[in-house]
């Protein structure tokens, strides 16, 4: 029995160590020039955004939002350079009562027909001793107010033990006055609901390890392409791609995977060369354009990055990554 337990522990250690292989990522940390940040996307599957409001003074109605996305521009050594943008779909509200949720979407509360999204965008990060605050604009029901959100970092940059994603974490809470945002609640809401609403969050953000994406055969083939690009340049990389994908029904995921892996390894010029080829085949794929814009930004090619980010926002005004980077590049 002891031998079985020991064997299990050794195997577990082996597989976890293998999953944490740091060779998926460069040893250095590269920032976007001028912005001094990395780009992390909110991992909604492991994050939580909730609220609580007093009911008659003796209990709280609690709820969550199920649909949201966001971006964190992150500097580990100097958090004051960090920024966050979050967009929340008010239609995804869930308080455990479908009747109440339906009412919360009306004009008495969020008026989701006219104001579907709630947003927060930080303007600065302030540090006072051990305390940190994100100062930024909170928009609810079309009304914008500057707020000061106290928060703490729950996890510094690390490689997770399963998928080898780069992960960071934050949590905090803020109390707001619903009247500031015209969430009046109608005749009965004014009488039974508190004016103060507590908003709590626990956010996990990540840079995904794209070397874990795709089936075994496809993934191995794309690794060959990446190696060809890195060792011998764009021409060799393109030739290798044509070779390994011969006879495969192509799609934008396979086309984009090589570029994502090149960006992950900080080979931005090679990624751009590949993305130009991929965009010719899939001109409507927004992800390819965003990867190309990001690669230009990391190379310090500001004008090219701005041009592409503007095109992305013209297609999707709610793209938090494009909006944040573009605003700071300008």
At residue 19, φ and ψ (nearest 5 deg) are: -65, -30
CATH T-level fold of 213-329: 1.25.40
Q: How far apart are the first and last CA of the chain?
A: 65
Would you say 75 and 31 are in contact if contact means Cβ atoms under 8 Å apart? yes
Tokens of 116: 């579907």
Q: What is the pTM of this model?
A: 0.89
Angle of helix 252-264 versus helix 268-281 axis, rounded to 10: 170
pLDDT in tens, the chain (330 residues): 544 444 444 334 444 444 566 789 999 999 999 999 999 999 999 999 999 998 877 788 899 999 999 999 999 999 999 999 999 999 999 999 999 999 999 999 999 999 999 999 999 999 887 789 999 999 999 999 999 999 999 999 999 998 999 999 999 999 999 999 999 887 776 768 889 999 999 999 999 999 999 888 889 999 999 999 889 988 898 899 989 988 888 888 888 999 999 999 999 999 999 899 899 999 999 999 999 999 999 999 999 999 999 999 999 999 999 999 999 998
Options 2.40.128.110, 2.40.340.10, 3.40.630.10, 3.90.650.10; CATH for 24-207 is 2.40.128.110
Going from N- to C-terminal start, the domains of the chain cover: 24-207, 213-329
Would you say 125 and 150 are in contact if contact means Cβ atoms under 8 Å apart? no
Tokens of 306: 């701005």
Across all residues in the chain, what is the average pLDDT?
Answer: 90
């Amino acid at each position: 029995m002891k031998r079985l337990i020991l064997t299990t522990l050794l195997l577990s250690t082996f597989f976890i160590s293998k999953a944490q292989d740091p060779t998926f990522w460069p040893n250095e940390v590269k920032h976007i020039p001028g912005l001094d940040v990395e780009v992390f996307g909110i991992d909604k599957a492991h994050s939580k955004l909730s609220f609580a409001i007093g009911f008659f003074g003796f209990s709280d109605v609690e709820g969550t939002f199920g649909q949201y996305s966001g971006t964190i521009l992150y500097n580990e050594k100097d958090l004051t350079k960090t920024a966050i943008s979050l967009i929340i779909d008010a239609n995804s509200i869930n308080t455990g009562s479908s009747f109440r949720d339906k009412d919360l979407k009306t004009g008495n509360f969020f008026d989701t027909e006219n104001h579907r999204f709630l947003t927060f965008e930080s303007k600065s990060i302030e540090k006072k001793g051990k305390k940190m605050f994100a100062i930024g604009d909170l928009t609810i029901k079309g009304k914008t107010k500057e707020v000061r959100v106290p928060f703490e970092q729950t996890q510094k940059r690390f490689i997770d033990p399963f998928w080898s994603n780069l992960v960071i974490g934050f949590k905090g809470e803020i109390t707001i006055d619903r009247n500031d945002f015209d969430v009046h609640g109608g005749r009965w809401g004014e009488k039974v609901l508190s004016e103060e609403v507590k908003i709590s969050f626990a956010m996990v953000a990540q840079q995904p390890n794209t070397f874990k994406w795709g089936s075994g055969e496809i993934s191995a083939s794309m690794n060959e392409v990446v190696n060809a690009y890195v060792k011998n340049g764009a021409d060799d990389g393109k030739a290798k791609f044509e070779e390994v994908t011969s006879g495969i029904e192509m799609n934008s995921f396979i086309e984009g995977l090589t570029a994502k892996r090149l960006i992950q390894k900080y080979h931005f010029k090679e990624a751009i060369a590949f993305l130009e080829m991929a965009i010719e085949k899939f001109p409507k794929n927004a992800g390819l354009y965003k990867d190309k814009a990001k690669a230009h930004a990391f190379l310090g090619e500001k004008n090219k990055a701005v041009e592409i980010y503007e095109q992305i926002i013209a297609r999707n005004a709610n793209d938090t990554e494009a909006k944040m980077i573009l605003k700071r590049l300008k």
